[in-house]
Structures are given as C-alpha cells and as structure tokens.
C-alpha cells in the first residue's frame, strides 16, 4: 500500500515537472514596440558637434553591436525608426531636408546610416589628417596615457598601410614649404597629391619649378607694363609720320592732273 502511494506521488511529480518545463520552453511572444522602446532607453541622443569631434560615425560606433545583436529581431523599417528617433531635433530636421523629396521610409537601414555618416562628418581630407599626425606633440595639460590615445587615433586616421614610399616623400616635401612665398605652390601641390596617388617626388619638384618659372615670367610682364606708355607713344609718333608722308604723296599725284584740266 505504501509503495503504491509513493509510486502515485512520483507520477504526480513527473506530471508537474513536465508541465513546468513545457511552459518554460514555450517561446514568449515578441513585441517589436516594447523591444524598440527598451533599446531606445539605452541610447544617448545624437547631437552633431564638429569642433568637439562628435560625428555620427563616432556616435554610431557605440551602438553598432546593439543594432547587430539586441535589435536583430527588429525589421529594417523598425531599425530606421529607432535610429532617427535618437537624432537631435536639429539633426533630424537637417536629415529630412537632405533626403527631400524622398522620405525616411524610402531607404534601408544601411542606406540611412551611410547618409547620416556623410551628412554629419567632419569634412577633412586625408592629406590634412596625415599632416596633423606628423605635427603631433604632447600638451602640457594632458597625461601620457591621454597623449598615447591621441597618437593612436591619429595614426589610424593616417592610414599608414595605404601610404607608399613616394607618397611619404611628397607629403614631407610639401610640409616643408612653409614660407609665405610658397603658399601658391603648396596649395597647388596639395591638390595634386590628393587626387593623384601615383605621383612621384620628381614629378612634384618639376611641377614646382615650372610654377616658379611661370611666376617669374608673370613678374617680368608686370614690370614691362610700367614701360608700355613710352613704347606706345613712340609707336603713335611713327604712325603719324607715316600717315603724313602718305598724304603728301597723294597730293603730289593729284596736282599734275588738275593742271592738265
């Protein structure tokens, strides 16, 4: 009798456990609105500040894993809405103006992030970043660790792996042109090495010599312009004499004919 009771109790325990396990294994109903709300509460609002280096790329890098993992169950449209929801008022208005006449729903999440990166970025050329990297010095107000962080970030932006030996030579050559008289040459050559990655130091120096020669020729022509009035006066005198001589010859030809008549 006792054994039967124990067997009955064990059977009841198994049934209860199986019911509990079944309830635990049953998937919960996913609610996108609540998930988006929870994710939004963990994200700071984006406000563009170029002077402080706060770009969309820097801001989005903080939440890249959040969108890849925590928001993976959200569809593309929900991700776009979540992203735009975290833009500041001015940033949101600027983006809407940027994509007109299109609407936010016309673009995928990937396209939206690409447009925001372009719109809220510091417009600085690679040459500028490399030049600043070469000019880095430790500030008196920063510690060594902070300085090391700046050096590391600047070197990454330098893109050293993409820099050839000739490009480095050209960059150092231009960085050394610091005199006021070299402003025009420096500006021209900066544009050249930015758009022509295959240019060599020899080509660059030859171009600089050509520009210098053109500037000398221009200065010579400018100096010659001050003497132009005297030359012009002599030319006018010569033309006047020639005109008088021609008029005298014409009169001599006419006079005999009048005498015959």
Domain end, chosen from 120, 147, 172, is at 120
Do residues 54 and 47 lie in contact, with contact meaning Cβ atoms separated by under 8 Å? yes
Total domain count, the chain: 3
Per-residue pLDDT averaged across 11-18, rounded? 60
The predicted pLDDT at position 259 comes to 46
Are 138 and 199 in the same domain?
no
Q: Higher model confidence: residue 250 or residue 8? A: 8
Mean pLDDT of 76-90: 94
Can you give the pTM of this predicted structure? 0.57
Bridge partners, 46 (sequence order):
87
The average pLDDT across 29-47 equals 85
Parent domain of 44:
39-120
Q: Would you say residue 260 has pLDDT above 70?
A: no
Same domain, 151 and 174: no
Asked if the structure places residue 12 within a domain, the reply is: no
Domain shared by 81 and 130, yes or no: no
Asked if residue 254 is part of any domain, the answer here is no
CA neighbor of 48 nearest in space, from 37, 39, 57: 57
48 and 115: one domain? Answer: yes
SS (H, E, C) 93-112: HHHHHHHCCCCHHHCCHHHH
| pLDDT reported for residue 15 | 65
Q: Are residues 67 and 105 in the same domain?
A: yes
| Domain assignment of residue 76, yes or no | yes
* Residue 193 sits in the same domain as residue 152: no
Within a domain: 227: no
Mean pLDDT, rounded, for 46-55: 88
Instruction: Tell me how many degrees the CA angle 183-188-189 measures, rounded to the nearest 5.
Output: 100
Residue 170 pLDDT exceeds 80 = yes
Instruction: Measure CA of the first residue to CA of the last residue in the chain; give whole Å.
Output: 173
H or E segment at 250?
helix 228-260
Please give the average per-residue pLDDT across 127-135, as a whole number. Answer: 89
């Amino acid at each position: 009798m006792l054994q039967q009771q124990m067997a009955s109790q064990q059977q009841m325990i198994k049934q209860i456990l199986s019911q509990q396990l079944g309830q635990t294994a049953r998937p919960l109903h996913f609610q996108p609105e609540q998930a988006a709300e929870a994710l939004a509460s963990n994200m700071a609002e984006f406000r563009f500040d170029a002077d402080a280096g706060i770009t969309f790329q820097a801001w989005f890098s903080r939440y890249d894993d959040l969108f890849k993992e925590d928001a993976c169950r959200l569809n593309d449209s929900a991700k776009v809405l979540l992203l735009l929801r975290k833009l500041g008022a001015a940033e949101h208005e600027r983006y809407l103006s940027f994509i007109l006449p299109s609407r936010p729903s016309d673009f995928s999440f990937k396209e939206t992030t690409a447009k925001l990166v372009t719109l809220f970025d510091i417009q600085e050329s690679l040459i500028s970043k490399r030049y600043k990297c070469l000019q880095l010095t430790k500030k008196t107000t920063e510690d060594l660790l902070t300085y090391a962080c700046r050096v590391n970030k600047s070197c990454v932006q330098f893109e050293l792996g993409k820099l050839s030996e000739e490009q480095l030579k050209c960059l150092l050559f231009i960085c050394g042109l610091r005199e006021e008289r070299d402003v025009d040459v420096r500006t021209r050559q900066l544009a050249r090495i930015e758009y022509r990655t295959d240019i060599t130091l020899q080509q660059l120096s030859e171009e600089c010599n050509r520009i210098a020669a053109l500037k000398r020729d221009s200065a010579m022509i400018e100096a010659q312009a001050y003497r132009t009035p005297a030359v012009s006066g002599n030319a006018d005198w010569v033309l006047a004499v020639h005109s008088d001589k021609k008029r005298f010859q014409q009169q001599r030809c006419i006079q005999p004919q009048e005498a015959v008549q």
